[in-house]
């Protein structure tokens, strides 16, 4: 059996590495949308035809006005032709606009789906440490809200942009032919409205908009954090403090929102006024009256300006209304691009196959973002067929060290080798075929127990899964569940911490990798479960096992102990030898559980070299 074992580590143990964050260039908006270009073009062309056809009824009214108001007999055939052309134009507009809108929305669905797929694929490849730097609320916003915010960009922008340019252009040409002077006067409202746009894009306005967005993000993540930590917060009476954090975020938001509204509202009002039909009509009527009284145009020629003049401003107004949406969509695309541009774990171009399953850490150094080195020059060899217990005070770097083996991040100095090959030269498939891990924060999927255990080996049969479950001493408990191995975790059963841990161990055993990394989470395992788990691990005779050991029994049964202190190996050797030396490890051993009943017995056993293997 082989495959990826994916019990994942908790947030506190998910660091990041500068070496890994060699960011890819974020995809440009154009690159993101390139696969959909043909559909965009179809949507836009349909919209152009619809929009231009929409001018036909207006032009028909203008022509009818001219014909009917001019002295002399009315040419009936001409009038009917104009009416029919107007009506046909109306239908063409309806048909093409509906088709464009429908296709635009289908396209929107496709783009959103592909963006979410790309995001999911990227999130599956970024270093796990990257997640710890992002609050889950912010990430959820990108995958959920931000992708949805692209809607106006995809479904409306092509149509509205096209209408906003093509319709006024055709109208302008027509009006210029009728009277260029009155055309210029008719353009006054449009020019006034457009003159407001730069005011919305000043650096301070953009800054306010950014502040507004981050204030929204802070509210979202403080709510998520508050909800996620509610049990702890309530139990320890800190709800007021946690509440305060949310309230502070909300207060900040109100301040920023007020500032933003104050800046934007005057500009928006000015634009709305300039584009309002009464203002446009007043401008055209004043200009028209001047032109008629000066003998520049006939009274009937005022009609196209009154009708098309309103049409000139309508698309600009539509753009104005959509401006916020478009800006929001643009910012959302920016955040999506940032996630899509996150550096994935670099994969070797020519993966090298390891010779065996010996693990070597050579002068390994690692520091988190703050620059402080958590591991400083670690040299360590883990021989196949041995269990190495990693011990040391809290914060000494144990979790950081074990996470180097499944390559949650790369060392910032030195290298980690498996079978003589630097992990960076090993394909990730090969790595996870050889290394599985059970770390403190066990994560099980909302799926059947069978699927959870066979996660790394999708083609495993029930016998394989049962064998792993028996080894992890969880088989009997599974049989007691309502649907046995088919019971869905999280729906039909809530497992205890110890049970979940044993399922995770069964999963690692089913993955059957030659290298196993364990964080002995003792927080919830009861002594019986603990013994069962240790027995299961004792069966892994031919594996290379590295375990962060908290239990003295585990330490006693290990082939080698490595003691870390402040990111440095301070002692290493057989547990019996180290105890006999009476150095740092012996002192550490004594401080662990000095009064525990079984300790002297265990110590005695260890000192006699009575190891199980």
Ligand X SMILES: Nc1ncnc2c1ncn2[C@@H]1O[C@H](COP(=O)(O)OP(=O)(O)OP(=O)(O)O)[C@@H](O)[C@H]1O
CB of 402 to ligand X, least distance (A): 8
What residues between 105 and 144 interact with ligand X by CB under 6 A?
Answer: 132
Pick the closest to residue 472 from 510, 442, 446, 444 (CA basis): 510
- Measured between alpha carbons, how far is 406 from 12 in angstroms, rounded to an integer? 17
Pick the closest to residue 158 from 99, 198, 114 (CA basis): 99
Q: Taking CB under 6 A as the rule, does residue 411 contact ligand X? A: no
CB of 604 to ligand X, least distance (A): 27
Q: Taking CB under 6 A as the rule, does residue 554 contact ligand X? A: no
Figure out which of the listed residues 397, 419, 498, 575 binds ligand X, where binding follows CB under 6 A. Answer: 397
User: DSSP state, 22?
Assistant: -
Figure out which of the listed residues 48, 190, 374, 606 binds ligand X, where binding follows CB under 6 A. Answer: 374
- CB under 6 A: which stretch of 199-207, 251-259, 304-312, 395-403 binds ligand X? 395-403
Q: Taking CB under 6 A as the rule, does residue 221 contact ligand X? A: no
Residues 6+ apart with CB under 8 A from 96: 46, 47, 49, 50, 53
Q: Is 569 helix (H, G, I), strand (E, B) or coil?
A: strand
CB of 395 to ligand X, least distance (A): 4
Residues 6+ apart with CB under 8 A from 128: 8, 9, 14, 16, 403, 408, 409
Q: Taking CB under 6 A as the rule, does residue 475 contact ligand X? A: no
Q: Taking CB under 6 A as the rule, does residue 598 contact ligand X? A: no
N-to-C CA span, the chain: 25
Site string for ligand X, 341-370 (x = CB under 6 A): ---------------------------x--
Quick one: how many helices (H) and strands (E) in the chain?
A: 27, 10
Figure out which of the listed residues 47, 400, 428, 448 binds ligand X, where binding follows CB under 6 A. Answer: 400
Count CA atoms closer than 13 A to 387's CA, side-chain side: 27
CB of 567 to ligand X, least distance (A): 7
Using an 8 Å Cβ cutoff, are 145 and 329 in contact? no
CB of 412 to ligand X, least distance (A): 13
- Measured between alpha carbons, how far is 314 from 318 in angstroms, rounded to an integer? 6
Alpha-carbon separation of residue 349 from 137, 191, 342, 343, 410 (angstroms):
35, 57, 19, 16, 17
Q: Taking CB under 6 A as the rule, does residue 100 contact ligand X? A: no
CB of 249 to ligand X, least distance (A): 23
- CB under 6 A: which stretch of 42-50, 67-75, 153-161, 392-400 binds ligand X? 392-400
- CB under 6 A: which stretch of 6-14, 93-101, 426-434, 485-493 binds ligand X? 6-14
Figure out which of the listed residues 93, 196, 291, 398 binds ligand X, where binding follows CB under 6 A. Answer: 398
CB of 571 to ligand X, least distance (A): 15
Q: Taking CB under 6 A as the rule, does residue 394 contact ligand X? A: yes
Q: 158: how many CB neighbours lie within 10 A of its CB?
A: 24
Which spans of this chain sit near ligand X (rule: CB under 6 A)? 12-15, 132, 368, 374, 392, 394-400
């Amino acid at each position: 059996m082989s495959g990826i074992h994916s019990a994942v580590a908790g947030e506190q143990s998910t660091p990041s590495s500068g070496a890994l964050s060699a960011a890819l260039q974020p995809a440009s908006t154009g690159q993101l949308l390139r696969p959909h270009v043909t559909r965009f073009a179809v949507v836009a062309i349909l919209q152009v035809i619809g929009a231009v056809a929409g001018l036909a009824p207006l032009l028909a009214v203008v022509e009818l006005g001219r014909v009917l108001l001019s002295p002399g007999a009315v040419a009936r055939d001409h009038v009917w032709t104009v009416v029919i052309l107007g009506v046909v134009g109306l239908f063409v507009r309806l048909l093409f606009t509906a088709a464009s809108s429908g296709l635009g929305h289908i396209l929107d669905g496709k783009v959103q789906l592909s963006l979410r797929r790309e995001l999911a694929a990227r999130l599956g490849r970024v270093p796990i440490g990257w997640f710890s730097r992002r609050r889950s609320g912010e990430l959820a916003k990108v995958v959920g809200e931000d992708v949805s915010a692209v809607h106006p960009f995809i479904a409306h922008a092509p149509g509205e942009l096209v209408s906003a340019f093509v319709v006024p252009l055709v109208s302008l040409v027509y009006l210029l032919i009728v009277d260029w002077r009155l055309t210029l006067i008719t353009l006054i409202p449009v020019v006034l409205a457009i003159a407001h746009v730069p005011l919305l894009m000043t650096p301070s306005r953009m800054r306010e908009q950014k502040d507004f967005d981050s204030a929204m993000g802070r509210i979202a993540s403080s709510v998520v954090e508050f909800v996620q930590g509610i049990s702890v917060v309530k139990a320890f009476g800190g709800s007021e403090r946690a509440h305060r954090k949310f309230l502070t975020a909300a207060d900040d938001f109100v301040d920023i929102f007020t500032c933003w509204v104050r800046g934007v509202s005057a500009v928006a009002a000015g634009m709305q006024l300039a584009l309002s039909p009464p203002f446009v009509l007043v401008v055209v009527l004043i200009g028209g009256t001047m032109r008629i009284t000066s003998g520049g145009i006939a009274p009937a020629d005022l009609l196209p300006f009154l009708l098309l003049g309103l049409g000139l401003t309508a698309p600009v107004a539509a753009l104005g209304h959509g401006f916020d949406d478009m800006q929001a969509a643009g910012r959302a695309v920016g955040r999506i691009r940032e996630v899509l541009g996150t550096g994935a774990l670099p994969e070797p171009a020519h993966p090298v196959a390891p010779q065996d399953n010996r693990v070597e850490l050579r002068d390994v150094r690692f520091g988190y973002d703050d620059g402080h080195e958590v591991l400083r020059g670690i040299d360590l060899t883990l021989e196949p067929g041995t269990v190495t217990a990693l011990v040391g005070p809290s914060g000494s770097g144990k979790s950081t060290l074990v996470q180097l083996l499944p390559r949650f991040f790369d060392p910032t100095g030195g290298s980690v080798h498996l079978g003589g090959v630097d992990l960076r030269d090993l394909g990730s498939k090969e790595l996870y075929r050889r290394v599985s891990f059970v770390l403190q924060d066990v994560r099980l999927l909302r799926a059947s127990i069978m699927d959870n255990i066979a996660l790394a080996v999708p083609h495993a049969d029930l016998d394989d899964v049962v064998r792993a479950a028996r080894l992890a001493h969880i088989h009997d408990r599974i049989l007691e569940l309502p649907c046995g191995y088919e019971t869905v975790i999280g729906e039909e059963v809530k497992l205890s911490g110890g049970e979940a841990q044993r399922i995770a161990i069964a999963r690692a055993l089913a993955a059957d990798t030659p290298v196993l990394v364990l964080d002995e989470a003792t927080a919830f395992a009861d002594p019986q479960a603990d013994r069962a788990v240790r027995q299961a691990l004792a069966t892994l005779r031919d594996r290379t096992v590295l375990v962060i050991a908290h239990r003295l029994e585990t330490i006693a049964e290990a082939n080698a102990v490595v003691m870390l202190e402040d990111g440095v190996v301070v002692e290493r050797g057989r547990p019996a030898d180290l105890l006999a030396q009476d150095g740092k490890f012996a002192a550490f051993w004594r401080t662990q559980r000095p009064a525990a009943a079984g300790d002297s017995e265990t110590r005695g056993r260890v000192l006699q070299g009575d190891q199980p293997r």
